[in-house]
A and B are shown apart, each in its own frame.
Chain A
Amino acid sequence: MSSIRPDGERPGAAPGAPEALLRIEALRVRFAGSGGAAPVDGLTLTVAPGECLGVVGESGAGKSLSFLAALGLAPEGAEVSGRVRLGPLDVLGCRERELDRIRGARVGFVFQDPMTSLTPHLTIGAQLAEPIARHCGLGRRAARERARALLEQVRLGDAARRMGQYPHELSGGMRQRVMIAIALACEPELLIADEPTTALDVTLQAQILALLAQFKRERRMALVLITHDFGAVAGVADRVAVMRAGRLIESGPVASVLKRPEDPYTRELLRAASEPPAPARAGGHASDASPAGAPVLSVSDLTVRFTHAAGLLRRRSFAALEAVSLTLSAGGSLGVVGESGCGKSTLTRAALRLIRAERGRVLWLGSDVSGLTARRLRGMRRELQLIFQDPLASLDPRLTVERLVGEPLEIHHGELAPDARRERVHAMLARVGLEAALYQRRAHELSGGQCQRVGIARAMVLEPRVLVCDEPLSALDVRAQRQIRLLLAGLRGERGTSLLFVSHDLSLVRHLCERALVLYLGRMVELGPTAALLDRPLHPYTRQLIDAIALPDPDVQPARLAKVSLGEPAAPLERPGGCAFRSRCPQATPLCAERAPPWVAAGADRWVACHHFREWADGMLPE
């Protein structure tokens, strides 16, 4: 499929090939007027033709800015100096018009946030055909034809219909596929992927990375993969560059950097990424074997339906959640796992009575929440605190850190004197590791990790019985993720708080939760102790979730990534009858299409909904 370029054959990707495709020398980026350090400070690196360079570092290390600046896309007000060569071409010396002939043609870009990176008022087809018409000199019809073929190559289902749709009609994973298709439209020599998977769930992350790896291989295209995820690097990259504070800390072949890091900073980042899971322990209690405390929150047979417009007057409804039951005991922890659209967030919202359930009961300390008086509901909400995914968006931008954490006390403990209140706020802020210098700041002046600490302090200051976390770590980089994870585990240990932890990432759940519930398109597929679930998954979907976890090990990860199926996951609106998972299940049989599998006990504290779990997981089950 890759065409031969007019300038003849490209040099091979032999490691250490003398001729670099992209050569960045002493790149510096400063912002006029900001007296502080330069965000990119003397970066030197090269990318050889056909190789994949993984660029790693925490947020704020200058990874993205370096490559944007190198191709003339630095934000306004940036002063860029140094030398950047693309082949023989001096890029920084180019005029805007010359750059426009490179960008989109010889160099493609994929950006982090698929939600905001496509023009909202133009159709997918129009946006895709645009660079093709411009750079490849194709006519309208030919460009659209090529665009459709590209959508098929990135495995976007129903390509012809997607061409006429607008970005907001597509899911995050689909939009990222479109972004890749646009970037690949003119067969670039170099693709710069800036955190291409950060906003996606584990399954989609694996699929997008596998897709990028496939294109790199097939088209012998060089790939710069900017990420904070060592798992992504291990699966795709040939070489790694580690950046910190605008400088290169360490670089080399992926195997040597990931296996034998030389710089202490690289070692610290790797430790954060590849920490073996400590067995999650109930707060205060010594062992997992002791029977858990009395149920605090229990949900039985919960069903939530959403209706949506389907045409002018018709309305259709679908079950976002169907017959879900769970129990959270005092001091216990439960992880709810599944990909985007599986109903995890709906579950927490329905359990807190933030949305109405169609059927089912939610018991809080033994009494039905649907019958709670306003007063008792307030009591429940005091004892049941939430931490949200987007740490910045969930904090009121006008309030200082101190006010943010004090506010729940004002509401629920009005009797507290201002001094006593401030004391409790300060003690809590100190516990979550925020310095006194930050107390008068507002949310936008904090980093993502610091914001999430404020969110945790705000929830924990009321000493709740239950903490509900909705993807609290997915917006953070590896190091911040690890710190927040340890903080949550520590707080739980000290106070015996029960934890309901919602995440798309099984690898995070295993650190924090004793038990895990896996949801697929609104239905329970598996429940059990987290360790057992990870060791011997009974449901094929759980197996796929485990396979999708990116391991920061360059010896095994490329092979695991190669096995990932590239097709789109099923959408909640297109749930097949019978077993909902059968459209993606490698073991599906006619029985699976006929009827939905029952929810059955499968050993000690293990439950599963699969007709065939005994057969396919044979030998894995204890007798």
Chain B
Amino acid sequence: MLGYALRRIAGIVPVLLILLTVSFFVIRLAPGGPFAAGRALSGRARAELERVYGLDRPLAVQYGHYLLALAHGDLGPSYSMRDDTVAGLIAAGLPVSATLGAAALVLAVLSGVPLGVRAALRRGGALDRFLAAFAALTLALPSFVTGPLLALVFGLWLRWLPVAGWQPDTPRDLILPAVTLALPLSASIARLMRASLLEVLNASYIRTARARGLGRARVLWHHALRPALVPVVSYLGPAATYLVTGSLVVETVFQLPGTGRYLVEGAIDRDYTLVMGMVLVYGTLTLLANLAADLLHAWLDPRVRHEPL
């Protein structure tokens, strides 16, 4: 198991390198540049700026320099926010975004799994029907609708929670954004859990377990739940991707100082270094989430553990 994990972690590095390389060239293929026309800059000033940042050198040289700096942990200066380095921007924003994402994920799993189990055990019951409606609704409504809606109800009308904004060390500020982000995820997980548990309960080893007279609860907890969790765990990889893109909207709606906005702003401003920094951060997070999903899968199913790689 340890060997498997180490090999998988080592496998992340080349994937990240490919991701960075592709992003590096693709963003430069896009028309314009950080100091392109449309800004109030004279031709000479622009040329001077490009010289300072090394943007007048051949692409291959720029790429080499970037990698070299990266190897020393230097993500470079931001071209659009000229007082800040990319690393500084990420260090300021990432804790907020990461807390939001993690809170949403935990919320989604803790609500989705029990909901799905319950719905599967009482198929056609009230909760099962509620789940169908809940899933349809939360999956259909985009978070820029559910977010303001929740803010309206819990923030303005009930005045239980802050409408928006963020002060350090106030977890209350994160509740509404996290719930907004978690809702569709929770519905997806619940539906997956329900379908997968129903399938497992039909497996012949469940019949064998019942034939041993183990009792309903033990059959469910000991024999059915772990295999039924496998599809849910496999979904955690894609779920992480959803959290990354979803956080972008939710952070804007609730005015959180996270990193989500840099992804959009950086791309619009052709802030090459900022975009690369975001690609690095989100790429690493996505790969780690997929790795975690695979390791969990191996823990759930011994057959995966014993597969030769």
Interface residues of A (CB under 8 A from B): 68, 71, 73, 75, 96-97, 99-105, 108-109, 111, 113, 116-122, 130-131, 134-135, 166, 168-169, 179, 182, 308-309, 312
CA distance A168 to B302 in the complex (A): 9
Q: Is the CB of A111 within 8 A of B204?
A: yes
Q: Is the CB of B204 within 8 A of A113?
A: yes
A309 in contact with B207 given A104-B213, A130-B214 (CB within 8 Å)? no
Q: Is the CB of A104 within 8 A of B306?
A: no
Q: Which one of A97, A108, A119, A182 lies within 8 Å of B223 (CB-CB)?
A: A119
Q: Is the CB of B300 within 8 A of A169?
A: no
- Using CB atoms, name the residue of chain A closest to B225: A121
- Using CB atoms, name the residue of chain A closest to B223: A119
A103 in contact with B213 given A111-B204, A121-B300 (CB within 8 Å)? yes
Q: Is the CB of A119 within 8 A of B205?
A: yes
Interface residues of B (CB under 8 A from A): 3, 202-205, 207-216, 218, 222-223, 226-227, 300-303, 306, 308
Q: Is the CB of B3 within 8 A of A312?
A: yes
CA distance A442 to B152 in the complex (A): 54
Min CB distance B182 to A, Å, is 28
Residue among A104, A121, A166, A169 with the highest chain B CB neighbour number at 10 A: A121
A121 in contact with B211 given A113-B204, A116-B204, A168-B306 (CB within 8 Å)? no
CA distance A116 to B202 in the complex (A): 11
- Using CB atoms, name the residue of chain A closest to B209: A119
Interface of A is mostly: mixed
Q: Is the CB of A73 within 8 A of B303?
A: no
- Using CB atoms, name the residue of chain B closest to A311: B3
Min CB distance A193 to B, Å, is 12
Q: Is the CB of B213 within 8 A of A118?
A: no
Q: Which one of B203, B213, B216 lies within 8 Å of A135 (CB-CB)?
A: B213
Which residues of chain B come closer than 8 Å to A68, judged between CB atoms? 207
Which residues of chain B come closer than 8 Å to A101, judged between CB atoms? 213
Q: Is the CB of B211 within 8 A of A109?
A: yes
Q: Is the CB of A120 within 8 A of B205?
A: yes
Q: Which one of A71, A120, A308 lies within 8 Å of B301 (CB-CB)?
A: A120
Q: Is the CB of A99 within 8 A of B213?
A: yes
- Using CB atoms, name the residue of chain B closest to A105: B213
Q: Is the CB of A111 within 8 A of B213?
A: no
Min CB distance A386 to B, Å, is 28
Q: Which one of A103, A116, A119, A169 lies within 8 Å of B211 (CB-CB)?
A: A103
Which residues of chain A come closer than 8 Å to B218, judged between CB atoms? 130, 134
Min CB distance A179 to B, Å, is 7
Min CB distance B21 to A, Å, is 31
Residue among A103, A120, A182 with the highest chain B CB neighbour number at 10 A: A120
Closest 3 CB pairs of A and B: A104-B213, A103-B213, A104-B212
CA distance A450 to B185 in the complex (A): 45
CA distance A68 to B226 in the complex (A): 25
Which residues of chain B come closer than 8 Å to A166, judged between CB atoms? 302-303, 306
A131 in contact with B213 given A121-B227, A312-B3 (CB within 8 Å)? yes
- Using CB atoms, name the residue of chain B closest to A116: B204
- Using CB atoms, name the residue of chain B closest to A167: B205
5 examples of A-B residue contacts, CB within 8 angstroms: A120-B301, A130-B214, A168-B303, A182-B212, A308-B308
Which residues of chain A come closer than 8 Å to B303, judged between CB atoms? 120, 166, 168
Min CB distance A478 to B, Å, is 23
CA distance A135 to B227 in the complex (A): 25
- Using CB atoms, name the residue of chain B closest to A112: B204
Q: Which one of B205, B215, B226, B227 lies within 8 Å of A100 (CB-CB)?
A: B215
Min CB distance A71 to B, Å, is 8
Which residues of chain B come closer than 8 Å to A168, judged between CB atoms? 302-303, 306
Q: Is the CB of A104 within 8 A of B3?
A: no
CA distance A87 to B213 in the complex (A): 18
Q: Which one of B204, B215, B226 lies within 8 Å of A117 (CB-CB)?
A: B204
Q: Is the CB of B3 within 8 A of A179?
A: no
Q: Is the CB of A96 within 8 A of B226?
A: no
- Using CB atoms, name the residue of chain A closest to B309: A309
Which residues of chain B come closer than 8 Å to A109, judged between CB atoms? 208, 211-212
Min CB distance A451 to B, Å, is 20
CA distance A210 to B202 in the complex (A): 31
Q: Is the CB of A116 within 8 A of B205?
A: yes
Which residues of chain A come closer than 8 Å to B3, judged between CB atoms? 312
Min CB distance A455 to B, Å, is 25
CA distance A150 to B218 in the complex (A): 23
CA distance A168 to B227 in the complex (A): 14
Q: Which one of A111, A120, A134, A312 lies within 8 Å of B214 (CB-CB)?
A: A134
Min CB distance B194 to A, Å, is 15
Q: Is the CB of B211 within 8 A of A73?
A: yes
Which residues of chain A come closer than 8 Å to B226, judged between CB atoms? 121
Q: Is the CB of A169 within 8 A of B306?
A: yes
Min CB distance B195 to A, Å, is 15
Which residues of chain A come closer than 8 Å to B209, judged between CB atoms? 119
A103 in contact with B223 given A111-B207, A116-B203, A117-B204 (CB within 8 Å)? no
Q: Is the CB of A73 within 8 A of B212?
A: no
Q: Is the CB of B210 within 8 A of A117?
A: no
Q: Is the CB of B213 within 8 A of A102?
A: yes
CA distance A97 to B202 in the complex (A): 20
Q: Is the CB of B301 within 8 A of A111?
A: no
CA distance A308 to B300 in the complex (A): 23
Which residues of chain A come closer than 8 Å to B211, judged between CB atoms? 71, 73, 103-104, 108-109, 111
Q: Which one of A71, A117, A131, A134 lies within 8 Å of B205 (CB-CB)?
A: A117
Q: Which one of A71, A102, A120 lies within 8 Å of B227 (CB-CB)?
A: A120
